[in-house]
Amino acid sequence: MSVEEDDDAASTRTLLALAEYSRILSDDRPMSTAQCTRSDGSLDSRLHAQFLAKEKELENAERNHFQSLVQVLQEEENPTGPRKKSRRSWKKRACKSLRPYYFDDNGNRKHLKPRETLWYIVCCSQNPNNQPATSSKLFAKFRRRFRLPFEEFKRFLATVSVHPLFVRWTRRDATGRPASPIGLLLLGALRYLGRGLTFDDLEEYTAIDEETHRQFFHQFILHGETVMFPQHVRMPTTAEEFKTHMSEFYTGGLWGAGFSADATNVVMWRCEHNLKQANTGWKNTHPARSYNVCVNHRRRILSSTTGHPSRWNDKTLAWADPLMKGIHTGRILQDVQFKLLYWEGEPGKSKTLEKKYRGAWGIVDNGYHRWSCTQAPAKVNYLLTEQRLSDWIESFRKDIECTFGILKGRWRILKTGIRLEGSIAADRIWLTCCALHNMLLEIDGLNEQWEDGAPSDWEGDMGNNDVDDCQKHAPFAIRRLNNPQLQAFGWRQHENNDCENIVLSRERANNMPDAAEEEEDDDMDDDLVTDERIHADGSVYVNSLSYFEFRKRLVEHFDILHRQHR
């Protein structure tokens, strides 16, 4: 059939459709609902059924006429063009113009495929000649760029590849094409956390679309929250689990302590508008999330809260921390036992005895509750013994500050801010970074106790220094403790037979809570009442003592250890 014959047939169909529409319109059936009513105002069901049938036929005839007319107009615009095929032809999917490309040996430009990128050839290829050796410079660069040793990355990749969350990247799609290499996607997620890059940067490195990287990263942080965090961040709940965390504190004279706590903020650049006011605190000009963290002295994270508005203070966050709240309420670690030293009679002249206690405690800053299980450096000290303990606690709690520095230095996204939308993604990123932090401590051998951990280059002859070097380079708290003048003043004050000075010192010690109340009028929830509870074995529960009562016993205990050079 020729093109002219097709045009005539289309015009004929148009005229026939118009004639059919005119025939239906002019028949004897009713044209409206008003023509279907009787004289008494009731509706005639037979006429109404005819009206509905006529209305439907008119609609179909009008549609057929319109379609025929459109076809005639299209053929008039392109009378000699090719006819439309009856079956749709599938074209080969074209490469995106913004994908990375390279020039081959003949100078032709070709699009770069993911399995041709440097990351895949060096880090994900099965060819052993392309993989970095353990002692090579490339291995050290891999650790610096992706934060994991290469061998641990391969084990981590094997674990991720079989997890149900990542099954879509381990099989072919509906058209039979292989999925993007999951090794490249995992490298991209680690680089995103470690360097704070964008997904567009990852597309340049891996030749994988940024949307694919974004979808994989959301699954990765979900895996970090639900699988990695419970596996690597284990909160101690029994005395046996808490014992290893008390080792360094016991060496430092803080018997019974096992953790340091503090809070930090992480900026959210894409916070929901209705949450901006709640998440904007006085420390940041942008919305941020606050996280309360407890660590041991080896900088291992013991517990961490999920994200809370940065407007919340430390006291509010403490109630959300499972470790601090559990110790204060007595739900966990009540089987932890330790001893504190005290004088039997006059300080400095009588013999020392030991008193048993139950429960754990830790060190915090002055923004937290005045709980007996959370001891902070005192702002006002009347005695040298009190000042000595405050300086020592302040020096000892630098471990939590170092942990925050390591976290934000190693995972730079926590320092530069999170650009994903919503607080849920920000919380998952934080928990994932905490899990990776503890995992790296285990890999590097820094998780064990200091005497059993990784050896240091400064052991042996390199660690021997004379007295002048120690006084010159030691931290301030250590120099203060080792100062002969202050050391002599510390015990000779107690050995003084002047009764007036002894009475004055004791009166100041007893009035220390009142002075602290004058210093901090807003601490109305301080635990000032001691309701001492004693176990059957004679040990005293720490959480039954007031903050200042337990603090006074710690001062006496630390003063005895200092006199004995322990």
Specify whether the CB–CB gap between 333 and 324 falls below 8 A.
no
3-state secondary structure of 230: helix
Specify whether the CB–CB gap between 494 and 563 falls below 8 A.
no
DSSP symbols for 330-394: TSS-TT-EEEEEEESSSTTTSPEEEEEEES-EEE--TTS---TTEE---S--SSHHHHHHHHHHH
Q: Give residue 357's identity as a one-letter amino acid code.
A: Y
Report the chain's mean pLDDT, rounded to a whole number: 81
Q: Strands 337-343 and 109-111, how do they pair? A: unpaired
Closest Cα partner for 356 from 241, 255, 258, 238?
A: 255
Strand partners, 110: 102
> How many Å apart are CA 40 and CA 562, to the nearest integer?
113
Strand partners, 418: 268
Specify whether the CB–CB gap between 189 and 220 falls below 8 A.
yes
- List pLDDT tens digits, range 308-327: 999 999 999 999 999 999 99
Digit-by-digit pLDDT tens for the chain (566 residues) are 555 566 667 678 778 887 888 888 888 888 888 788 888 878 888 888 888 888 888 888 888 877 877 777 777 666 555 555 555 566 555 555 466 777 777 878 778 888 888 888 888 876 666 555 555 788 888 899 999 999 999 999 999 999 999 999 988 888 888 889 999 999 999 999 999 889 999 998 998 999 999 999 999 999 999 999 999 999 999 999 999 999 999 989 999 999 999 999 999 998 888 888 888 887 778 899 999 999 999 999 999 999 999 999 999 999 999 999 999 999 999 999 999 999 988 888 889 999 999 999 999 999 999 999 999 998 888 888 999 999 999 998 989 999 999 999 999 999 999 999 989 999 999 999 999 999 999 998 887 766 554 444 434 443 344 445 444 444 444 455 455 544 444 444 444 443 344 444 445 445 544 434 444 444 444 455 567 899 999 999 999 999 999 999 999 999 999 888 76
> How many Å apart are CA 341 and CA 353, to the nearest integer?
6
Q: Give residue 307's identity as a one-letter amino acid code.
A: G
Q: What is the largest CA-CA distance in the chain?
A: 129
Helices 199-206 and 182-195, axial angle in degrees (round to 10): 140
* 558 token code pair: 């630390």
* 82 token code pair: 């090719």
> How many Å apart are CA 126 and CA 110, to the nearest integer?
24
Q: Give residue 119's identity as a one-letter amino acid code.
A: W
Burial class (CB in 10 A: 0-12, 13-18, 19+), 126: exposed
> How many Å apart are CA 475 and CA 158, to the nearest integer?
45
pLDDT at 518: 40
Burial class (CB in 10 A: 0-12, 13-18, 19+), 139: middle
- List pLDDT tens digits, range 399-427: 999 999 999 999 999 999 999 998 999 99
With a CB cutoff of 8 Å and minimum separation 6, the contacts of 284 are: 265, 267, 310
- List pLDDT tens digits, range 451-495: 554 444 434 443 344 445 444 444 444 455 455 544 444 444 444
pLDDT at 487: 45
Strand partners, 338: 357
